[in-house]
Amino acid sequence: MSLNCLSLLLIALMMNPSLITQSAASSAAADKVYIVYMGSANPAKESAINSMLKRDGGRAIDPLRTYRHGLSGFSARLSPEEAAAIADHPHVISVFPDESYKLLTSRSWDFLQELTEYNDVVPLAGPIRPGFCTSSPSSGLVIGFIDTGIWPESESFKSEGANSNPPRGWNGTCMAGADFNITACNGKIIGARHYVTGTARDWAGHGTHVASTAAGAAVGKASYYDLATGTARGGSEFARIAVYKACNDRLRCKGSHMLSAFDDAIGDGVHVISVSSAPDEVPSRSPYFLRDPVAIGAFHAVERGITVVAGAGNTGPDPASVFNDAPWIITVGASTIDRVFRADVVLGGGGGVVKGEWLTFPDLDRSPIHPLTDGSTAKEGNASYLAASDCQQDSLKREKTEGKIVICEVKGKDPTINLLTQANEVQGKGGLGMILVDDVTRRVAEYSGDFPVTVVSSREAVKLKSYLNITVDPLATILPTVTVGNYRPAPQVSYFSTRGPSVNLPNIIKPDVIAPGVSILAAWIGDDSESTPKGRKPPSFNIISGTSVSCPHVAGAVAAIKNAQPSFSPFAIKSAIMTTAFVTNNVGSLITTDAGEEATPYDLGAGELNPTGSLNPGLVYEATTTDHLLFLCYYGYDTATVRLISRVARSLNFSCPLDSSPDLVSHLNYPSMAVRLAPNQTRTIGRVLTNVASDGKWSYTATVRFGGGSTEGLRSDVAVKVSPERLCFTNKGERHLFNVTFMSTGSVDVDRVVFGWITWTNPRFKVRSPFVILGSTA
Ligand SMILES: *[C@@H]1O[C@H](CO)[C@@H](O)[C@H](O)[C@H]1NC(C)=O
Ligand SMILES: *[C@@H]1O[C@H](CO)[C@@H](O)[C@H](O)[C@H]1NC(C)=O
Ligand SMILES: *[C@@H]1O[C@H](CO)[C@@H](O)[C@H](O)[C@H]1NC(C)=O
Ligand SMILES: *[C@@H]1O[C@H](CO)[C@@H](O)[C@H](O)[C@H]1NC(C)=O
Ligand SMILES: *[C@@H]1O[C@H](CO)[C@@H](O)[C@H](O)[C@H]1NC(C)=O
Ligand SMILES: *[C@@H]1O[C@H](CO)[C@@H](O)[C@H](O)[C@H]1NC(C)=O
Ligand SMILES: *[C@@H]1O[C@H](CO)[C@@H](O)[C@H](O)[C@H]1NC(C)=O
C-alpha cells in the first residue's frame, strides 16, 4: 500500500488551498452518500478501509454500510472532495453516488409445460409432474430475493413439505423487526434481513409476489376474486427463501442497500439471487464497475458459484433499452401467457359485444341500459378536441358525462396521462364507467379500483364508434371480468419488455431469455386496501405484470436445475436455460411480439423459458470465472483492476492478454453469439460444447437458420458456416470445439443487423443459440 487517502487528501489540500475553504463551506447537507467499491473481499482491504475512515486530523468518516463478505467497500456521506480523494486510493475501483433504483413491476408454469407440445421436443424419459419443475422435498436450495420483503403469513410460505430446519451450512439469520418476529421464519423462509423500514415485512406486495412465484408452496384454489383460479405454486416448490429487504414500500431500492443485500446473501450461502430493479433513466454506456450495484453484486455472487437472475426492465419496446446487461447475469424479458382477462362491453339495441380486457368488478346493470358517449362529444367548452377525446384532466363537461359510460382514447401520446388519470376525469365528472381505447395498456390487465373500467383494442373500437355514430340513444354496459384460457398466439413478447442491443456491449445478445411477466397470479400481502374491491376482504393473491415478475420464473427454474444437476456451474445453468428455450408459440409459429411481428433475439434472447427442458440440456456452453476476467480485459479494464475486482484473478495471478479489444468478447463461450462484420470480411469464432447427458453416446448435427424480425432472406449478404457440422460425444463431460465462420459479401449494409439461429440436433436434444451479425465499417 503506498499512500492512504488521508495523505492524498492532505496533498490535494496543500496543492490547492481553495479546497479547504470549499470543503469547509460545504455543509453536511451538501454531502451525498457515495458507494466506495473496492473489488473482492479480503482482509488486507479491511485495514485499507479502516485507514480511509479513521483520519487523524481530518474528519472521521462514519460508514453507513460496510461490505466484507462477497465484496469489499463501504458507503458513507462524503463531500465531493472526499469522494475524489478516496477514488484515488490504490485499493479503490470506483466511487459513485448512491442512487435510487426502481423495482420492475398461476397459470404460468402450466402454460410453459404445455408449450412443449408446440416446440417439437421429444418428451423426457421418466415422470415429470405436470406444470412445474421436478424438485425433491428435501431441496436444500436457497433463493435470495432482493426486494420489498415478505408477508410470512401467506399460505405460499407454509413450511409443510419443506424441511423444518434450514439446510446444512446455512449461515443466514432471521432479523426481527417491526411486525416481524423471528417466528416468521420457518422451513420455507429460512432467512430475513432488512436494510430499510426496520423490518423484513413486505408492505408493498412485490417481494411477496416474486418469492412465491419462484419458490412458493402449492396452494390449491388460489385466485384473485375468482379470477385466474388454480393451484398457485412456485417454479421450485421446495426451494427455500431468504429475504433481503433492500427496497421500500414505494418500490425504490438504494444502490448501497442492494450491495449490502448481495454481500450478505453471498455470506449466508444462497444458491440463486433474484433481483428486479433498474435505474429510472434510459440505459447509458457505463463501465460495469463504475456505478452499477447490480452488476457489481452479481459479479461477486457468480464468482462464488451463485446464479444471479435479473429483470431486463419495463421501458420497452425501443431498441437498446435493456438494463442489467452484464454478461454474468441472466437477463430476463417479459412475455404474455395464454390467458386473458375479458371485461366485455355490451351495446344496446342489438349492437353486439365489444371485447375488452381489464380487471374490473363493475357495479353496473348487466343489461346495456347505461347511456354511452365519447370524450370528444362530452368536451368542455375551452378544452381541445384531442384533450377531450383522451379524457385529459379538466377536458370533459359534467352535463354531458353525468350518468354515462365514456369512451376515452390515447391519441395525444401525452406522457402525463394514464388510465388512472383518465378514469379520474370521467369519475370526477359523474361518469358511470370508462371504456379506454388503448392497444398497449389492454395487454397488461390489472385492477385499478372500484370505478368500472375496461380497455379495448383500436380494432374493436371501430364497432364502438360506428355504433355511436348510427345510434340515436346509444346504450352500453361493462361486464365483470372473466378469465379466458387458451388464448392464441402465446407467448408474445410484451411491449414493455426492454430490447437489445446492450448499450454497453453489442458483442453480447441481451436479454438472454423471456419468461411469463404479464398478469401473473401469485401471493400478496394480507392488508392491501388498494387491491381490494369495495365490500370485499383483502386478496391473498394478486395479479401483476413486469419483468420483475418474469425474473422469479427463471430463478425458480434455476433452483430446479441446480437440484437436478448439482454439479452445474452458473455458466452451465445459464446455457441450459438459453439453449433449451422455446422459440415456437402455441399455434406452432415463431414467437412474435405483442404487435404481431416476428420476435428477434433482441426481443426474446434465446426464447421463452422451458423449465422442463432446461433440466436436461444435453450439451452446455461451459465457462469459468476466467472467461469473465477475459471479458473484463476485452471490455477495457487493465490487469491491476481485474486483480482488485476478482479474488480468482488475484489467486491465479491473472493477466490480461496484450491484444484486448471489445470485439474479442464474441469469442467467449457464451450460449449466444454476436459479431461485427465489415463488407467482404470473414470472421471465425470458436465455441466449446460439453456433454452433460448422463445416458450414453450422442451425436449432433448443426443447422443454421436465418430469420427474426424482417431480416429473413438476407442470405445473399452473409453466409454462416459451422465447422465441423457434426459432433460425436461418447462420455459425459466430453468436450468438443467447433468454429462458426461469418462471411459477408461486399453488399452487406453497414447498418444492417442479421439475425439467425444455430442449432445442434439429434433425435433427443436440440441445443439452440441465437446469433446476431452487426454490419460495421471496419
Ligand atoms: C412472536 O410471536 C409468537 C407467536 O405469535 C409470540 O408468542 C411471541 O410473543 C412473539 N415474540 C415477540 C418478541 O414479539
Ligand atoms: C458459512 O460460514 C462459514 C464460516 O465463515 C464458511 O466456512 C461457510 O462456507 C459458510 N457457508 C456457506 C454456505 O457459505
Ligand atoms: C376550462 O373551464 C373550466 C370551468 O370554467 C375550468 O375549470 C378549467 O380549468 C378550464 N380548462 C382549461 C384547459 O382552461
Ligand atoms: C358516421 O356516419 C357518417 C354518415 O353515415 C359517416 O360519413 C362517417 O364516416 C361515420 N363516422 C364514423 C366514425 O363511423
Ligand atoms: C503468483 O505470484 C506470486 C508472487 O508473484 C507467487 O508467489 C505465486 O506463487 C503466484 N501464484 C500462482 C498461482 O502462480
Ligand atoms: C477453428 O479455427 C481455428 C483457426 O481459426 C483453427 O485453428 C481450429 O483448428 C478450428 N477448430 C475447429 C474445431 O475447426
Ligand atoms: C468486396 O469484394 C468485391 C469483389 O471482390 C469488390 O468488388 C467490392 O468492391 C468489395 N467491397 C468492399 C466494400 O470492399
Question: What are the cell numbers at 668?
Answer: 467467449
Q: Which bound ligand lies closest to the C-alpha atom of 407? A: 4
Q: 352 to each of 344, 356, 362, 413, how far by Cα in Å?
A: 10, 13, 19, 30
Specify the amino acid at residue 134.
T
Verify whether ligand 5 is closer than 6 Å to residue 284 (CB atom). no
For atom 4 of ligand 7, the residue with the nearest CA is: 746
Verify whether ligand 3 is closer than 6 Å to residue 382 (CB atom). yes
Question: Does pLDDT of 346 surpass 90?
Answer: yes
Q: pLDDT class for 119, splitting at 50, 70, 90?
A: low
User: Among the residues of 61-199, which ranges form H helices?
Assistant: 80-87, 108-115
Question: Does pLDDT of 136 surpass 60?
Answer: no
Burial classification of residue 590, based on how many CB atoms lie within 10 Å of its CB (0-12 exposed, 13-18 middle, 19 or more buried): middle
Under 8 Å between Cβ of 402 and 370: no
Mean pLDDT, residues 415-442: 93
Q: Which bound ligand lies closest to the C-alpha atom of 181? A: 1
pLDDT at residue 57, rounded to an integer = 56
Q: Higher-confidence residue: 744 or 707?
A: 744
pLDDT at residue 576, rounded to an integer = 98
Beta-sheet strand order (sheet of 766-775): 673-677, 766-775, 753-761, 698-706, 726-729
Q: Whole-structure pTM over 0.85, yes or no?
A: yes
Specify the amino acid at residue 557.
A
For atom 8 of ligand 7, the residue with the nearest CA is: 746
Element containing residue 231 per DSSP (H, E) = strand 227-232
Please tell me the distance between residue 653's alpha carbon and the centre of ligand 5 in angstroms: 6
Verify whether ligand 7 is closer than 6 Å to residue 679 (CB atom). yes
Question: What are the cell numbers at 596?
Answer: 404481431
CA dist., res. 671 & res. 517, Å (int): 23
Under 8 Å between Cβ of 263 and 71: yes
For atom 5 of ligand 1, the residue with the nearest CA is: 183
For atom 7 of ligand 2, the residue with the nearest CA is: 169
Q: Which bound ligand lies closest to the C-alpha atom of 736? A: 6
Pocket perturbation via mutation, ligand 7, pick of 680, 682, 716, 745 by most ligand atoms within 8 A of CB:
680
Query: What share of the chain in percent tops pLDDT 90?
Result: 74
pLDDT at residue 33, rounded to an integer = 95
Please tell me the distance between residue 183's alpha carbon and the centre of ligand 1 in angstroms: 7
Q: Which ligand 6 atom sits nearest the alpha carbon of residue 737? A: 13
Please tell me the distance between residue 461's alpha carbon and the centre of ligand 3 in angstroms: 29
Pocket perturbation via mutation, ligand 6, pick of 721, 739, 741 by most ligand atoms within 8 A of CB:
739
Burial classification of residue 504, based on how many CB atoms lie within 10 Å of its CB (0-12 exposed, 13-18 middle, 19 or more buried): buried
Burial classification of residue 120, based on how many CB atoms lie within 10 Å of its CB (0-12 exposed, 13-18 middle, 19 or more buried): exposed
Verify whether ligand 3 is closer than 6 Å to residue 394 (CB atom). yes
Verify whether ligand 4 is closer than 6 Å to residue 469 (CB atom). yes
Please tell me the distance between residue 412's alpha carbon and the centre of ligand 3 in angstroms: 19
For atom 1 of ligand 1, the residue with the nearest CA is: 181
Verify whether ligand 4 is closer than 6 Å to residue 703 (CB atom). no
Question: Does pLDDT of 99 surpass 80?
Answer: yes
Verify whether ligand 5 is closer than 6 Å to residue 182 (CB atom). no
Choose among 244, 251, 250, 252: nearest CA to 308: 244
pLDDT at residue 109, rounded to an integer = 60
Verify whether ligand 1 is closer than 6 Å to residue 181 (CB atom). yes
pLDDT at residue 300, rounded to an integer = 97
Q: pLDDT class for 21, splitting at 50, 70, 90?
A: very low
Verify whether ligand 4 is closer than 6 Å to residue 466 (CB atom). yes
Mean pLDDT, residues 76-96: 92
pLDDT at residue 307, rounded to an integer = 98
Convert the pLDDT of each residue in 407-428 to its tens digit. Answer: 999 998 777 888 999 999 999 9
Q: pLDDT class for 132, splitting at 50, 70, 90?
A: very low
Please tell me the distance between residue 370's alpha carbon and the centre of ligand 4 in angstroms: 23
Mean pLDDT, residues 150-166: 84
Please tell me the distance between residue 412's alpha carbon and the centre of ligand 4 in angstroms: 22
Please tell me the distance between residue 141's alpha carbon and the centre of ligand 2 in angstroms: 15
Please give the sequence-ordered ranges of beta strands (E in DSSP) within 123-212, or none if there are none.
142-147, 189-194
Q: Higher-confidence residue: 123 or 684?
A: 684
Q: What are phi and psi of 206, to 5 degrees?
A: -60, -50
For atom 12 of ligand 1, the residue with the nearest CA is: 181
Question: What are the cell numbers at 320?
Answer: 437498446
Q: pLDDT class for 7, splitting at 50, 70, 90?
A: very low
Question: Does pLDDT of 475 surpass 80?
Answer: yes
Structural domains of the chain, with CATH:
5-98 (3.30.70.80), 103-335+492-567+582-615 (3.40.50.200), 339-482 (3.50.30.30), 619-623+669-775 (2.60.40.2310)
CA dist., res. 89 & res. 391, Å (int): 57
User: Which residues contact residue 206 at a Cβ distance below 8 angstroms, ignoring those fewer than 6 apart?
Assistant: 103, 105, 147, 148, 247, 251, 544, 548
Please give all residues whose beta carbon lies within 6 A of any atom in ligand 6, as ranges.
684, 686, 723, 737-739
Verify whether ligand 2 is closer than 6 Å to residue 171 (CB atom). yes
Q: Higher-confidence residue: 713 or 659?
A: 659
pLDDT at residue 490, rounded to an integer = 95
For atom 10 of ligand 7, the residue with the nearest CA is: 746
CA dist., res. 228 & res. 79, Å (int): 53
For atom 5 of ligand 3, the residue with the nearest CA is: 382
Please tell me the distance between residue 269's alpha carbon and the centre of ligand 1 in angstroms: 27
Q: For the residues of 322-387, what is the DSSP string, one character each?
A: --S--TTSEEEEEE--S-EEE--EEETTTTEEE--B-B----S-SSS-EEEEETTTTB-TTS-HHH
Question: What are the cell numbers at 397?
Answer: 363537461
Q: Which bound ligand lies closest to the C-alpha atom of 468? A: 4
Question: Does pLDDT of 744 surpass 90?
Answer: no
Verify whether ligand 2 is closer than 6 Å to residue 169 (CB atom). yes
Verify whether ligand 1 is closer than 6 Å to residue 179 (CB atom). no
For atom 3 of ligand 7, the residue with the nearest CA is: 746
For atom 10 of ligand 1, the residue with the nearest CA is: 181
pLDDT at residue 443, rounded to an integer = 84
Q: Which ligand 6 atom sits nearest the alpha carbon of residue 739? A: 1
Q: pLDDT class for 405, splitting at 50, 70, 90?
A: very high
Q: Which bound ligand lies closest to the C-alpha atom of 183? A: 1
Please tell me the distance between residue 462's alpha carbon and the centre of ligand 4 in angstroms: 11
pLDDT at residue 749, rounded to an integer = 65
Q: Which bound ligand lies closest to the C-alpha atom of 174? A: 1
Please tell me the distance between residue 665's alpha carbon and the centre of ligand 7 in angstroms: 27
Please tell me the distance between residue 268's alpha carbon and the centre of ligand 2 in angstroms: 7
Residues in the chain: 778
Convert the pLDDT of each residue in 653-700 to its tens digit. Answer: 999 999 999 999 999 999 999 999 988 899 999 999 999 998 878 999
Under 8 Å between Cβ of 504 and 325: yes
Question: Does pLDDT of 123 surpass 80?
Answer: no
- Given the DSSP bridges, would you call strands 735-744 and 619-620 parallel, antiparallel or unpaired? unpaired
Pocket perturbation via mutation, ligand 1, pick of 175, 179, 183 by most ligand atoms within 8 A of CB:
183
Please tell me the distance between residue 460's alpha carbon and the centre of ligand 4 in angstroms: 16
pLDDT at residue 399, rounded to an integer = 97
Mean pLDDT, residues 742-749: 76
Please tell me the distance between residue 269's alpha carbon and the centre of ligand 2 in angstroms: 7
Question: Does pLDDT of 124 surpass 60?
Answer: no
Q: 207: helix, coil or strand?
A: helix
Question: Does pLDDT of 633 surpass 50?
Answer: yes
Verify whether ligand 2 is closer than 6 Å to residue 746 (CB atom). no
Q: For the residues of 46-61, what is the DSSP string, one character each?
A: HHHHHHHH--SSSPPP
pLDDT at residue 441, rounded to an integer = 86
Mean pLDDT, residues 584-595: 93
Beta bridge partners of 331: 310
Q: pLDDT class for 56, splitting at 50, 70, 90?
A: low
Q: Which of 180-194, 319-333, 362-376, 694-708 has the lowest mean pLDDT?
A: 694-708
Specify the amino acid at residue 288.
Y
Mean pLDDT, residues 332-355: 96
Verify whether ligand 4 is closer than 6 Å to residue 462 (CB atom). no
What is the rounded average pLDDT for all residues in the chain? Answer: 88
For atom 10 of ligand 4, the residue with the nearest CA is: 469
List, by residue number, the catalytic residues.
147, 206, 548
Q: Which ligand 7 atom sits nearest the alpha carbon of residue 680? A: 1
Burial classification of residue 651, based on how many CB atoms lie within 10 Å of its CB (0-12 exposed, 13-18 middle, 19 or more buried): exposed
Convert the pLDDT of each residue in 35-52 to its tens digit. Answer: 999 999 988 888 888 888
Question: What are the cell numbers at 81?
Answer: 472532495
User: Which residues contact residue 402 at a Cβ distance below 8 angstroms, ignoring those fewer than 6 apart?
Assistant: 429, 430, 431
Q: Which bound ligand lies closest to the C-alpha atom of 678? A: 7
